[in-house]
Structure 1
Amino acid sequence: MLTAVRGALAFLTRLPVGASEAAWDAFRRTPVAFLAAGYVVGALAALPLSLPVPVSTAVAGYLLVLYLVTGVTHADGLADCGDAAATHGSDTDRRAALKDAQTGVGGALAVSLALVTLALGALGVAGAGPRVAVRLALAAEVSAKAGMATLAALGTPGHEGLGSAVVGESDAIGLLPVVPVAGLAAVAAPTGSGPALVATLLAGPAVALVVGRWGARRLGGVTGDVLGAANELGRVAALHAGVVVWTLW
């Protein structure tokens, strides 16, 4: 399991964990390793939300740490999917747009909207107070990674690439440990935050299934870009789901 986690961190982050072929192979066969990486990334990104600084500064710190740790690979996947979604024509044209190295208007708009809505979600989370904010930010990252794990286990590989090397290497049975490991993010929740944490954890996989279905219909399967898009959009949806439930209930 530790080898799989090291592979997950090497694949999903920029952390210097010493990647190896053995770690990569273990990660591909272990969907729950996605969540282990989510806990690491989420804990690091949530740190600024625990500091006694203005809310706007805490949110800026959250975004800065998040993308310093994860890099822009997943955002690039969202941009490519945005270009594919904006393409008029056949599914073949969409797949061509997906592989185009140039970022078009659709990709730029997708990434811009994702960043803006992520920042707004983080503002709402920060307004809940440090203890709740940290837990919601952590749960949002775990939720996004649970969505990626779901697609990796249940999806059909798309065109050849890193994504196709991950997708389909496991199955539904491999997802069984994902539920209790994700649920750890809601254990010992601060008073009143339990429903918000549950909503946060459910949002990522729900978004991933929608993105995966679109990828299967329009792009021929779940590619690395689809995984990246599911991660970025799942995080946004998870943060907002947590904020909405925390605010209303």
Structure 2
Amino acid sequence: MVLTAVRGALGFLSRLPVGHSERAWEAFVGTPAAFPLAGYVVGGLVAVPFLAAGLLPAPVVAAAYLGSVVLVTGVNHADGLADLGDAAVVHGDPAERRDVMRDTTVGVGAVLALGTVLVALALAALAVAGLPPLVAVALVLAAEVGAKLSMATLACVGRPSHEGFGSTVIDGNGSRHLVGSLAVAVPAAVVAAPATAVTVLAGPLLALGLSGWADRRLGGVGGDAFGATNELTRAVALHAGVAVWSLFGTPLGGWEVFAWTLS
């Protein structure tokens, strides 16, 4: 059942050729933990360029990472971020803001949201590329798990604004289901704690803030909010992880020495 749910999650969250089936989709939407579990697969793939950290110039590694994110995950979540950006700058009630999100015209809010997050992600990738390879891989993996954990958090605590993907995922799930999602994210959080712990926890914290904002501005959470929180978390989590690593490093002394030796 869990493997089927993860396959359904990867079919929706990535461009990996895992196939699509009604059974996998139903298992996915009923299993919030499938979000962070899929994050391990996606994170492992997009982290591959950082194995060359220290061997190739940091801008080259960062650019390869950005390219891998697009190749593995596509643009579906970025589209959600763009729609949310347009809604954020509209003056009106929740219904009017949701109408703007359905409009195919790209506004200044979308451009600003996408541009800001892309620049933030590129700068974070540059910083990560300057770390020891294994540390860099651990942070990128943790950021992707945290990004998917943010989506799981919305699925467990969000209130749907209208019929669609958001309501499909939220219906039937509750706050008690978040425990399983947090549990499966623990390995990514502890591998190079405290940096990776902060990186993973950025996901649910950002999701809670976005859920509260969406309730006030949009009347609840929709599919675009899921995509937006994924993109926002990835960038924010990487910056948070790099900052904590720079300040505190990791208490796993032997692992740290090994990582620095490889660099």
- Shorter-chain TM range is over 0.9
What TM-score results when the alignment is normalised by the length of structure 2?
Answer: 0.90
What TM-score results when the alignment is normalised by the length of structure 1?
Answer: 0.95
Q: Distance in 1 between matches of 2:136 and 2:187?
A: 16
- 1:109-166 residue CA offsets vs partner (Å, 9 max, x unmatched): 1001000001111111111121100000000000011110010111111222222211
Q: 136, 146, 161: which is aligned to 1:158?
A: 161
User: Shift of the alpha carbon at 1:173?
Assistant: 2.0
Q: 178, 182, 186: which is aligned to 2:181?
A: 178
Q: 79, 83, 97: which is aligned to 1:80?
A: 83
1:117 matched to which residue of 2? Answer: 120
Give the aligned length.
245
Gap change, CA 1:134 and 1:92, over 3 Å in 2:
same
1:48 matched to which residue of 2? Answer: 49
Q: 74, 91, 95: which is aligned to 2:98?
A: 95
Match of 2:47, SS state, is: helix
Q: Which amino acid aligns with 1:222?
A: V
Query: What stretches of structure 1 of length at least 5 have no aligned partner?
Result: none
Query: What stretches of structure 2 of length at least 5 have no aligned partner?
Result: 249-263
Residue 238 (str. 1) matches residue 241 (str. 2): no
Structure showing greater Rg: 2
Gap change, CA 1:90 and 1:173, over 3 Å in 2:
closer
Q: Percent identity?
A: 56
Q: Aligned-pair RMSD on alpha carbons?
A: 1.1
Q: Distance in 1 between matches of 2:185 and 2:84?
A: 27
User: Shift of the alpha carbon at 1:99?
Assistant: 1.1
User: Shift of the alpha carbon at 1:180?
Assistant: 2.2
1:32 matched to which residue of 2? Answer: 33
- 1:75-109 residue CA offsets vs partner (Å, 9 max, x unmatched): 00000000000112333321111111111000111
Q: Distance in 2 between matches of 1:237 and 1:79?
A: 17
Q: Distance in 1 between matches of 2:167 and 2:11?
A: 17
Q: Which amino acid aligns with 2:49?
A: P
Q: Distance in 1 between matches of 2:91 and 2:179?
A: 39
Q: Which amino acid aligns with 1:184?
A: P
